[in-house]
């Protein structure tokens, strides 16, 4: 499905099979000599077919189209290797490009087993099968031809002049595109409507939730009239949605502290009791993937509370436990 959302900007809905997100919003921006395609969808037949049909309908080829990948997740980067031609420039941040470029062989996936153990998921009985993870299953083939971008770099296409804005948190190198004159933001998964971007802590060491909240504040300082997000519908009230996201995480932090009380709990034990906007009422009914995302989110909130001095951590049998100071 293609929808023109602005002059020379088209939103392409790329289906994500068997995934609760349903589709990725890929954006095609028509330029004078070269076009720009922002994000791609999964590396799977359904996404490939939709992208091929969309490019044909837009009368575009990858020989005259460049790629910008907002972040490393496979629903945004999966078709990279399939689409790229010798003429194609592929822009991405170095931290996320390092992960994506390795495909299924990326060292990123080596920390997966550690996450399952440290969070308590293995002790809870979850199956340690990386092949079930959609990010792994639909990853692009190995690729080493990135043109790395940094915060403040500019990308011009047609009448649009985009500035790269670093918004780490959802991933280490997430980048938004901002056109100051047109008050336009392509937000990737940094800002979404209705649904909240998943903030997962895969390993201790970096306060990913703190990074995300600081990145929200940074975007809130920009003059934005329209947000083109990576999923679902377009947003007209950027600052209002940012405040909703901040309020959501504030409430979630309070929920985590209430669950902890005076106990010492691991990530799974906290996630089991958190408030989730899901139809599953019992933790045992959560699908494999939803358990991963729920526990990753719990761990990011627990570790943020540790970073700001409210919680302490101890390790027992390779599982991390959190208690109030």
Q: Model confidence over 108-139: pLDDT tens digits?
A: 888 888 999 999 999 999 988 888 898 999 99
Percent of the chain scoring above 70 in pLDDT: 100
Phi/psi for 309 (5° steps) reads 90, 10
Q: Exposed/middle/buried for 227, CB within 10 Å: 0-12, 13-18, 19+?
A: buried
Q: What is the mean pLDDT of the chain?
A: 96
Rg (CA), the chain: 20
Per the structure, the complete domain to which residue 166 belongs is given by 2-117+134-248
Predicted local confidence at residue 123, as pLDDT: 96
307 in a structural domain: no
Q: Mean pLDDT throughout 238-249?
A: 98
Token pair 């392409």 is found at: 12
In the 8-state DSSP scheme, what is residue 235? B
On the CB side of 206, CA atoms within 13 Å amount to 14
Which residue in this structure is represented by tokens 């002059």?
A: 7
In whole angstroms, what is the distance from residue 39 CA to residue 76 CA? 5
**305 Cβ neighbours under 8 A, 6+ residues apart:** 253, 256, 257, 311, 322
Query: Span 259-288, mean pLDDT?
Result: 92
Average pLDDT for 169-192: 98
Burial class (CB in 10 A: 0-12, 13-18, 19+), 86: exposed
Query: For residue 138, which of 94, 190, 73 has the smallest C-alpha distance?
Result: 73
Report yes or no on 295 lying in a domain: no
3-state DSSP assignment of residue 86: coil
Query: How far apart, in whole angstroms, are the C-alpha atoms of residue 277 and residue 300?
Result: 18
Surface-to-core class of residue 220, CB atoms within 10 Å of its CB (0-12 exposed, 13-18 middle, 19+ buried): middle
**Residue 322, CA atoms < 13 Å, CB-side half-sphere:** 29
Query: How many domains does the chain fold into?
Result: 1
Helix (H, G, I), strand (E, B) or coil at 114: helix
What CATH number does the domain containing 18 carry? 3.60.15.10
pLDDT at res. 44: 97
Structural domain contains residue 159: yes
Token code pair at residue 223: 């003059």
Pair 200, 296: CB distance under 8 Å: yes
Residue 278 reports pLDDT greater than 80: no
Lowest mean pLDDT among 39-48, 103-112, 240-249: 103-112
Which backbone phi and psi does 246 adopt, to 5 degrees? -65, -40
pLDDT at 18 over 90: no
Residues 139-167 have a mean pLDDT of 97
**Residues 292-319 pLDDT 10s:** 999 999 999 999 999 999 999 999 999 9
CA distance 191 to 224: 12
Residues found in the chain: 325
Of 108 and 90, more confident: 90
Residue 154 within any structural domain of the chain: yes
Q: Is residue 24 in some structural domain?
A: yes
Domain contains 138: yes
pLDDT band at 106 (very low <50, low <70, confident <90, very high): confident
DSSP state of 162: E
Model confidence over 244-263: pLDDT tens digits? 999 999 999 999 999 999 99
HSE of 118, CA atoms in CB hemisphere, 13 A: 21
Asked if the structure places residue 47 within a domain, the reply is: yes
Q: Decide if 267 is inside a domain.
A: no
């Amino acid at each position: 499905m293609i929808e023109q959302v602005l002059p020379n900007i088209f939103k392409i809905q790329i289906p994500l099979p068997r995934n609760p997100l349903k589709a990725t919003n890929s954006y095609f921006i028509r330029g004078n000599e070269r076009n720009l395609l922002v994000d791609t969808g999964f590396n799977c037949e359904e996404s490939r077919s939709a992208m091929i049909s969309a490019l044909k309908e837009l009368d575009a080829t990858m020989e005259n189209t460049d790629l910008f990948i907002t972040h490393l997740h496979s629903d945004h980067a999966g078709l990279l290797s399939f689409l790229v031609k010798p003429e194609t420039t592929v822009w991405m941040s170095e931290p996320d490009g390092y992960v994506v470029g390795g495909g299924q062989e990326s060292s990123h996936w080596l920390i997966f087993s550690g996450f399952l153990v440290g969070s308590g998921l293995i002790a809870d009985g979850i199956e340690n099968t990386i092949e079930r993870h959609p990010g792994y299953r639909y990853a692009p083939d190995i690729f080493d031809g990135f043109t790395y971008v940094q915060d403040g770099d500019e990308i011009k296409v047609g009448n649009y002049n985009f500035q790269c804005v670093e918004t780490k948190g959802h991933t280490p190198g997430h980048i938004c595109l901002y056109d100051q004159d047109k008050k336009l933001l392509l937000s990737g998964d940094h800002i979404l409507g209705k649904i909240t971007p998943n903030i997962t802590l895969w390993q201790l060491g970096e306060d990913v939730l703190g990074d995300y909240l600081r990145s929200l504040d940074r975007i809130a300082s920009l003059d934005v009239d329209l947000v083109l997000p990576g999923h679902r519908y377009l947003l007209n009230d950027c600052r209002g949605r940012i405040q909703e996201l901040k309020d959501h995480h504030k409430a979630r932090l309070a929920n985590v502290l209430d669950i902890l009380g005076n106990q010492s709990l691991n990530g799974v034990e906290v996630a089991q009791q958190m408030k989730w906007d899901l139809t599953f009422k019992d933790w045992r009914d959560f699908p494999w993937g939803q358990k991963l995302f729920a526990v990753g989110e719990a761990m990011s909130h627990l570790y943020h509370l540790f970073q700001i001095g409210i919680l302490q951590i101890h390790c027992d049998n390779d599982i991390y436990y959190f208690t109030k100071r």
